[in-house]
Amino acid sequence: MGGYKVSKEKAQIAQQTVIYLGCEISQGQQKLSNYRIQAICAIPEPQNLHELRVLLGMTGWCHLWITDYGLIAKPLCEAQKTQPFTWGKPQKEAFLKLKEALTTAPALGLPDLPKDFQLFVHERLRLALGVLTQCTTSEGSPLEHDCMEVIEHTCAARADLKEVPLEQPDWELFTDGSNFMENGIRHAGYVVTTISTAVEARALPPNTSAQKAELVALTRALELGEGEKVNIWTYSKYAFGIVHVHGAVWREQGLLSSQGMHIKHQDAVLQLIRAVQKSEQVAIMHCKAHQSGNSKICEGSRKADWTAQQAS
């Protein structure tokens, strides 16, 4: 336990109820603390985009306790996209509803895993809403459960997609995207290489972001490996996350995030998701950039990094 210190003032010992991260936890349940509820209810109406984001951040942390949170907060999320900042009647009504919901927020039961669960769902205005309950009473009691967290960690872009290398692959490819500024213009490029040879290296249109260049690089590697057994390494956590975590969810949601906002680089994301299906078998791994060492991954990643810089 080196480096840890116990605070006498913060210690909560031999109590039936304790406060932890703004939650009041007692036997079998947790609810929002009065302090957190009062702090949020004291927030005035937002006057600019920054204040709106602060409000959404604070209420979003409490979304598990607010029935139909996504539906109520939708006008506020949409206001983030308007220029100039607009605060109208729909936003004011949503603001007041969220505060009212917080003052009546239920205590959420903690899951009792051996008992049966019941999930009640419905859809309104293209938003999926749900309550997970457990039959601790005749009516069932709502439980703490983050549905989006579970869904996003179980839906890959392809059912048999691996994140550890396949044995005896036909291809082992490394991808990278790069960009730099020169005379006010952003130059970008991407590369697909083996451990020793550049398979494809091309420049991209001016002002292409590094994030999009990484998506293009991974997409081209998948297309080059069509019908083959392929291992692919990418620097990009963003691209890695799309194929392993978020991509399938975004596609089902019409390329909207869980907050109802349009995702970036929609066309590139769709092309990447389609390209994942082309290989006979495929594993996509994330690797750190600028690694030293003599391993296959280090050498391949250095080759991709250097070639991408030349391509851009």
Q: Which residue has the higher pLDDT, 162 or 60?
A: 162
Dump the DSSP string for 224-281.
Answer: HTTTSEEEEEES-HHHHHIIIIIHHHHHHTTSB-TTSPBPSSHHHHHHHHHHHTSSSE
- Taking only the tens place, the pLDDT of each residue in 101-138 is 777 665 444 556 666 766 666 666 666 666 666 654 44
> Residue 5: inside a domain, yes or no?
no
Q: Indicate the number of domains in the chain.
A: 2
> Residue 139: inside a domain, yes or no?
no
As a whole number, mean pLDDT of residues 266-273 equals 88
pTM: 0.49
The pLDDT score that the predictor gives to residue 229 is 94
Q: Where a domain ends, among 109, 140, 160?
A: 109
> Residue 240: inside a domain, yes or no?
yes
CATH number of the domain within which 252 lies: 3.30.420.10
Residues 192 and 273 in one domain: yes
Find the largest Cα–Cα distance for the chain. Answer: 70
CATH number of the domain within which 60 lies: 3.30.70.270
Residues 189 and 83 in one domain: no
Provide the domain limits for residue 268.
171-311
Q: At residue 307, does pLDDT exceed 70?
A: no
What is the signed CA dihedral for 93, 94, 100, 101, rounded to 10 degrees? 150
